[in-house]
Amino acid sequence: MKRLILSIFILLLTLGPVNADEGMWLPLIIKERIPDMQKKGFRLTAEDLYSVNQASLKDAIVHFGGGCTGELISDKGLILTNHHCGFGQIQSHSSVENDYLRDGFWAKTMEDELPNRGLSVRFLIRMEDVTKEVLSSYNSNMSEEERAKLVSEKSAAIIKRATENNHYQARVEALYYGNQYFLFVYEAFNDVRLVGAPPSSIGKFGGDTDNWMWPRHTGDFALFRIYSDKDNKPAAYSKDNRPYVPKRFFTISTNGVSEGDFTLVYGFPGRTQQYIHSDAVRYITEKSNPHKIDLRTKRLDIQREEMNKSQDVRIRYASKNASVSNAWKKWQGESRGIEKLNTINEKIEFEKGFNKWADGREEYKRVTERLGELYRNLEPYAFATDYYNEAIIANEIIRFAGTISAAIKRNSKMTPQVSAANIKNMLEAFYKDYYLPIDKRSFIAIVEQYSKSVPSHMQPAPFKEMLSQYGSVSSLADYIFSESLLASPEKIYAYIESGVDESSFNNDPAFALYDIFYSNHESNVKPVTDEINREINLLYRTYMRGQMEYRSNHSFYPDANSTLRITYGNVSGYKPSDAVYYKHLSTLEGIMEKDNPDIYDYNIPQILRDVYKSKDFGKWEVNGTVPVCFIATNHTSGGNSGSPVINADGHLIGINFDRVWEGTMSDIAFDPDVCRNISLDIRYVLFVIDKVAGASHLIEEMKLAN
């Protein structure tokens, strides 16, 4: 226990060197980084960034929809985030008659703003190091099960205290693999309305071709508004709600950026794995990513082919296609970056040095060796899990069968009629965005790949029997998609009219196939995976402490886990390959160079062509054009989408939305030479709102500074 406390003390107080601009820092202890930030040009204090005693910039930031970030830009609850973060909401309001994806949407008045069922945002109220309390009763003689129970009980008590007599939410999160624990207290708002979004030809300009790439010309932004009750407190949607008045909102700088300028990204990065073992990196790079990329390529090719045939199908699958594509392209860049950076060998060399240092330290002896053994044991089960997720559950009709089965079990105490009403609501949401030909073609392609790639002894025996019975995956698909009730909305609506219970779909082939794979995964794969991962995670707790002692002059930031973080750096171009250098800024000229009416992703709105032709750029003009995007050295990840990018004075200069393809390995290994975050220049946002949308009333809400 003393050693644990000492390690945490080292973790918090050690401020040695770290790679330039690397790190995702907790706002509560950002004052330890302020000297380094000031060297880079920062002019504010730690209290300006994070404070519980006064309004600070953290109060202008929201966790948007649980997976993105947003920022307040007016005193009337106006939120700025990414177009791709609000894509699902924009798509849900779209139809062939009102195609907001194609044409954009701009509310002329607050009464025109569109509510979004299920969308919420939350503010961080405070964070607190609760390690001492969580582990106060721990002793080294405890088993891991006893320790886990202790952590759970202590965390529950801390959460109860933090949320007693208030409307807040709270979570206790483990950092550094359970060497440290932090309490995070949030205030959540559930009435969040769509205010404005550019056409996808601006908000998603370049589509999958440009995704993760630089130079970038995507106007990736959307506007939402938080509504509250008359007391400025969270409330369910009501016409009587009023715009939320924030504690703090961002002033917007129209000065723009220059090479070398200080930048700070403040948001909720999702997940990173900076400290993992070399064998984990090897599996990701050499086996997992290549197979997942191949499976998604098959799905994407089918989706795009069908979407190109029909506007209706394009609308239905726009959000799904973007979701599938995003990770698909990221995995490609990640594997390439890890290979180029020689990360696996770098990890191996680090582990050799660690092992030599650990030789006389019993606690750390054989830790890396044992991790290697465990990863080799885990690999076949991880591979089977990858295929279960990407080739079985990825099929819409099969996944939905599982969703309905779970819902029926949850509703088992309800009457069959009430349960049927709940299922009907789920069916309506499913069929709104479903197109059977895409799902059937995808099923044939990826289940066929499953049958070829997953070792026979890890495939469910009933599935192999079905293949033998029908002769091929294609014939099996014919059977499922002709006989399953889920393949016909008319049939299933009629079927559930009299009610449903747990036996209702026992003979349905889609439900049967889901049960076959789910049972196999739960019985034969997941238990082994869970058991190995338990030991891996336990070893990582020790390995993490060991790394911090071994490199005692190094700063260790916690891996991202969707909690609020600060990352900082400077505006900078980069050299991706020999004889190539990318500048830090893209402009409207690049959009016009790419504009192509014959390609959906590059077919910009005619009004943008007209504005460009007339050169009517207004106050947003810089050197005869309009800045669009810029890159900087901030260490970002998924979840940072929509994060505010601020300058040395804390003014908003951009919206983070992506990383460069060559640097997508930054979740595992950060390379300051090529890792760049891509941000939308705030001047382009204002230009589009003003000159393209004609929604200058929204700009009037904002506070602009030169």
Distance CA 97, CA 121 (A): 29
Whether 84 is a known active-site residue: answer yes
Mind spelling out the 3-state secondary structure of 221-235?
Answer: CEEEEEEECCCCCCC
Bridge-based pairing of strands 704-705 and 565-570 is unpaired
Contact assessment for residue 168 and residue 187, using Cβ atoms and an 8 Å cutoff: yes
Q: How buried is residue 462: exposed, middle or buried, by Cβ count under 10 Å (0-12/13-18/19+)?
A: middle
Contact assessment for residue 79 and residue 58, using Cβ atoms and an 8 Å cutoff: no
**CB neighbours (10 Å) of residue 187?**
17
Which of 501, 386, 518, 395 shows the shortest CA–CA distance to 460? 518
Give me the phi and psi of 384, to 5 degrees please: -65, -35
Contact assessment for residue 635 and residue 569, using Cβ atoms and an 8 Å cutoff: yes
Contact assessment for residue 550 and residue 365, using Cβ atoms and an 8 Å cutoff: no
Distance CA 62, CA 80 (A): 10
Residues 6+ apart with CB under 8 A from 683: 254, 256, 620, 622, 626, 627
* Type of residue found at 245: V
Which of 120, 135, 43 shows the shortest CA–CA distance to 85? 120
Of 63, 84, 584, 651, the active-site residue reads 84
Distance CA 54, CA 536 (A): 42
List Cα–Cα distances, 371 to 286, 380, 541, 542, 557, in angstroms.
18, 16, 12, 11, 22
Of 21, 220, 439, 667, the active-site residue reads 220
Distance CA 519, CA 488 (A): 26
Distance CA 130, CA 660 (A): 37
Judged by phi (left if over 0) then psi (alpha if -120 to 50, else beta), residue 41 lies in left
Q: Which pair of structure tokens corresponds to residue 402?
A: 């599982």
Of 74, 325, 637, 641, the active-site residue reads 641
Distance CA 284, CA 335 (A): 8
| Residue linked to tokens 């009299």 | 498
| Residue linked to tokens 């700070």 | 264
Which of 508, 295, 491 shows the shortest CA–CA distance to 395? 295
Which residues are identified as catalytic?
84, 220, 641
